[in-house]
Chain A
Amino acid sequence: MKLADAPRRAVGIAVTLFAATALVACAPASSTPGPATSDEGGTLKIGYLGPLTGGSASLGVPSVNAIELAIEEINASGELDRELELVAVDDEGDATKSAAAAQRMVTEDGVIAVLGGPNSGTVLANNPVITGAGVVQLITIAQADGLIDPESPGHDLTFQVTENNTYDVMATVQFFLDADYDSICAVSDTTEYGQSGITAIREVFGDNGLEVAEHVTHEVNATDLTSQVLSLRDADCDSVYLYSYGQDAAVFMKTVNQLGWDVDVIGGRALNQAAFLSIAGRAGDGLIFPSVIDTDKQSAKDFIAAYDEAYGSDDPAHTFSALAYDSVHILAAALVASEYEGGAALAEALESVTLEDAASGRDGSTLSFAAGDHRAPSDDFVTFWTIEGGEYTMYSNTIPSTRP
């Protein structure tokens, strides 16, 4: 049997190889489509790609809610000649799914822009797909510093609305400088937030003549942080920079309380997550952390009222929802300027508009992009919040901050 099969097998394989080579040499695979152009007078589709289920859903869902809210308001006010429509897809925080969904959004759905989710892993994967199709991407709340890479081909179509990690750390470092601590320690988790956070911390501290005396890490969703707290306590730290996700930061604070350790704790933006307050309870009292909401600002108050009425309290600190809300408004302004064209025209338009009464940012700050600098927040954007009596409260809206 084998002898008779062998020549057949050889022929079969040879034919396959020949056909494959011939075709591979001749035809490129399906060409990438050009940028989506809106049908004349029709609705403009805006895509949202982020985690609506899974570990980061508590960041993604408020974002989508806020985007829906913004779109409703814009459509109702008639400030655009066209209707906006939301295409929201859950990528579950998975890079492969995110890239595939992005391809569908830009090819089949014909979106004019994509608002991107909180995970830098998925943004890194879907960015080449989105910008490769000539579509603009606005990153709403992912804070990683390196998301807009000047060397990657799509960087002129990529925009970051939130302030990045370095911005937050630079604003926060003043607390450490003012208080003149003897020994500053840091704790971070192993997610992208914690990892990029500690990198930013070391850099900014170095620029300011401070150093991190002791640094401990832990996995996200940790069960116990006793050894981490003890390591810092026994290193005689008098302050701790807490750069972990809400649930783990809560466990950290409860452990600090349990051990009776009296130490100043200053946190990163993740303490805005509902999980922190819910789990920490009174153990979170007195913590200070950066936020983007200024409760003295009228536009912020309006936004908070509207959001809470529509969606309840799934984002008690309103940080994540406000940034997504503003992303839509700045996009809408740019669409007017670009006369509803997408692609490079929209990118240029984004670089020309300024959002002054945004829901996020201190009173007086603005969101705007410039050529070569696609990061929105102006100087003095960040506010600081704290927890008092188990509630989120604004601590200060007068601490200056500068964009890195």
Chain B
Amino acid sequence: MSTFLQLAVSGIALGSIYGLIALGFLVIYHATGLVNFAQGQLLMAGAMTTYLVLVRMGLGYPLALFGVVVVAIVLALLFRYGLHRPMVKRGAPTTNMVVATIAFGLVLTALVELTIGNTRYGVDAVIPGPAITIGGVSIQTQSLLIVVVAWALVGAVWFFFTKTLTGVSLRAVGLNRTAAAVSGVRVSRLITIAFVISVLVTVIGGMLVAPIIGAGPAMGLSIAVKGFAAAVLGGMSSVYRGMVAGVAIGVIEMLSSYYISSAWAPVIAYAILFLALVLMPARVRQSGVHA
């Protein structure tokens, strides 16, 4: 029984990371209809920044957080004004936008490899010390922190989207850009805000994950795919659903790896993504807005 509980707890911790990626993914998607295939590399950017500040420069976590926020804003603005807006202005088709996000990710990876290194580096946890064990079930302090922060971020973003004027306007932009513009909403500025929120959330996810799996250029890829799966499984709708779906994927991954087979668990995860996409009701798919 304690094994099952342990699997569940670890699954929730793992799934919260997926949910955080889904969060970043959904924010941009709802505002612009863009699927950002560079989420994994953005996660990596957060992790590498944390490594740089904490280990190479020897400064503490508060400065690391600051560094991570700065990097997030820079990357978001770069992406928004350097790529997204120019391409939208020229009427670029969906495929080109997809490839642009992929290429952005490739450039990030290459940059990190070139300037920092090509291996994986360890990063200290925020709260160093042994794992917390309650009744035979244990969780690393960092994992607990991930769960708390991830859900807090989801809550904050939800609050932003539903209770603040900016957030509601952003939703309006996503639903019907023309109508929003006509109502006096400053569309371009809001889209930029959406980018910043999305990148910030993902980059913070990278900072949280780094102490658990290390920081390195190749770390974000499989997490990103499962994050997409979480967003899709959650119906591409509210950020809460994405989070819950992420946790579901994490738990299913754990349970299937233990009870069925560790060798086939990855295939099961990808098959879930495939099925979720195929079985998702059409009206939900088509509700996405295009840039």
Instruction: Decide if A and B touch, CB cutoff 8 A.
Output: yes
Q: Which residues of A does B touch, CB under 8 Å?
A: 53-55, 57-58, 61, 190, 216-219, 221-224, 226-228, 230-231, 234, 246-247, 250-251, 254, 257-260, 273-275, 277-281, 314
Q: Are B6 and A53 in contact (CB-based, < 8 A)?
A: no
Q: Are B17 and A278 in contact (CB-based, < 8 A)?
A: no
Alpha-carbon gap, A221 to B257, bound state (A)? 16
Q: Which of B243-260 contact A (CB under 8 A)?
A: 253-255, 257-258
Q: Are A259 and B6 in contact (CB-based, < 8 A)?
A: yes
Interface size on B, residues (CB 8 A): 39
Known: A221-B219, A230-B6. A54 touches B118 (CB 8 A): yes
Known: A217-B263, A221-B221, A258-B140. A226 touches B7 (CB 8 A): yes
Q: Are A221 and B222 in contact (CB-based, < 8 A)?
A: yes
Q: Are B14 and A278 in contact (CB-based, < 8 A)?
A: no
A-B contact pairs, 20 of them (CB 8 A): A54-B218, A57-B113, A221-B218, A223-B209, A224-B10, A226-B6, A226-B7, A226-B10, A226-B254, A227-B7, A227-B253, A227-B254, A227-B255, A227-B258, A230-B3, A246-B120, A247-B216, A257-B131, A275-B119, A275-B214
Alpha-carbon gap, A230 to B138, bound state (A)? 12
B190 interface hit (Cβ, 8 Å): no
Alpha-carbon gap, A343 to B147, bound state (A)? 61
Q: Which of B10-50 contact A (CB under 8 A)?
A: 10, 13-14, 17
**Chain A residues near B253 (CB-CB < 8 A):** 227
State the Cβ distance, B266 to closest chain A Cβ, in Å. Answer: 5
- The 10 A-B residue pairs with the shortest CB-CB distance in the complex, in nearest-first order: A57-B118, A58-B119, A227-B257, A226-B10, A279-B214, A278-B122, A275-B120, A279-B122, A227-B258, A258-B131
**Chain B residues near A281 (CB-CB < 8 A):** 122
Q: Are B7 and A230 in contact (CB-based, < 8 A)?
A: yes
Q: Are A234 and B3 in contact (CB-based, < 8 A)?
A: yes
**Chain A residues near B257 (CB-CB < 8 A):** 227-228, 231
Q: Are B216 and A227 in contact (CB-based, < 8 A)?
A: no
Q: Are B121 and A278 in contact (CB-based, < 8 A)?
A: yes
Alpha-carbon gap, A57 to B209, bound state (A)? 22
Q: Per-position contact with A for B207-225: 1 when CB-CB < 8 Å, else 0?
A: 0010011101011011100
State the Cβ distance, A64 to closest chain B Cβ, in Å. Answer: 12
Alpha-carbon gap, A274 to B120, bound state (A)? 8
Alpha-carbon gap, A230 to B113, bound state (A)? 34
B188 interface hit (Cβ, 8 Å): no
- Could you say which of B6, B110, B122 has the most chain A C-beta atoms within 10 Å of its C-beta? B122
Alpha-carbon gap, A222 to B263, bound state (A)? 13
State the Cβ distance, A93 to closest chain B Cβ, in Å. Answer: 11
Write the chain A residue with the least CB distance to B10.
Answer: A226
Alpha-carbon gap, A222 to B213, bound state (A)? 8
Alpha-carbon gap, A280 to B139, bound state (A)? 16
**Chain B residues near A254 (CB-CB < 8 A):** 140, 212
Alpha-carbon gap, A224 to B213, bound state (A)? 8
Known: A230-B3, A234-B3, A260-B133. A275 touches B216 (CB 8 A): yes
Alpha-carbon gap, A58 to B212, bound state (A)? 20
Q: Are A247 and B222 in contact (CB-based, < 8 A)?
A: no
B164 interface hit (Cβ, 8 Å): no
Q: Per-position contact with A for B39-68: 1 when CB-CB < 8 Å, else 0?
A: 000000000000000000000000000000
**Chain A residues near B110 (CB-CB < 8 A):** 53
**Chain B residues near A231 (CB-CB < 8 A):** 257-258, 262
State the Cβ distance, A362 to closest chain B Cβ, in Å. Answer: 27
State the Cβ distance, B130 to closest chain A Cβ, in Å. Answer: 8
- Could you say which of B120, B218, B253 has the most chain A C-beta atoms within 10 Å of its C-beta? B120
Write the chain A residue with the least CB distance to B14.
Answer: A224
- Given A223, A228, A259, A280, which contacts B17 in the complex, CB threshold below 8 Å? A223
Write the chain B residue with the least CB distance to A247.
Answer: B120
Q: Are B140 and A279 in contact (CB-based, < 8 A)?
A: no
Known: A226-B7, A228-B262. A258 touches B214 (CB 8 A): no
Alpha-carbon gap, A223 to B43, bound state (A)? 13
- Could you say which of B13, B121, B209, B213 has the most chain A C-beta atoms within 10 Å of its C-beta? B213
State the Cβ distance, A7 to closest chain B Cβ, in Å. Answer: 39
Write the chain A residue with the least CB distance to B266.
Answer: A219
Alpha-carbon gap, A61 to B13, bound state (A)? 35
**Chain A residues near B122 (CB-CB < 8 A):** 250, 277-281
State the Cβ distance, A399 to closest chain B Cβ, in Å. Answer: 29
State the Cβ distance, A245 to closest chain B Cβ, in Å. Answer: 9
Alpha-carbon gap, A71 to B26, bound state (A)? 54
Q: Are B120 and A279 in contact (CB-based, < 8 A)?
A: yes
Alpha-carbon gap, A169 to B218, bound state (A)? 29
**Chain A residues near B3 (CB-CB < 8 A):** 230, 234
State the Cβ distance, B8 to closest chain A Cβ, in Å. Answer: 10
**Chain A residues near B214 (CB-CB < 8 A):** 247, 250-251, 275, 278-279
- Could you say which of A55, A254, A273, A279 has the most chain B C-beta atoms within 10 Å of its C-beta? A279
State the Cβ distance, A88 to closest chain B Cβ, in Å. Answer: 15
**Chain A residues near B10 (CB-CB < 8 A):** 224, 226-227
**Chain B residues near A279 (CB-CB < 8 A):** 120-122, 213-214
Q: Are B138 and A258 in contact (CB-based, < 8 A)?
A: yes
Q: Are B14 and A218 in contact (CB-based, < 8 A)?
A: no
Alpha-carbon gap, A111 to B110, bound state (A)? 29
Alpha-carbon gap, A218 to B254, bound state (A)? 12
Q: Are B118 and A53 in contact (CB-based, < 8 A)?
A: yes
**Chain A residues near B219 (CB-CB < 8 A):** 221
**Chain A residues near B120 (CB-CB < 8 A):** 246-247, 275, 278-279
Write the chain B residue with the least CB distance to A234.
Answer: B3
Write the chain B residue with the least CB distance to A278.
Answer: B122
Write the chain B residue with the least CB distance to A231.
Answer: B258
Known: A246-B120, A274-B119, A275-B121. A53 touches B113 (CB 8 A): yes
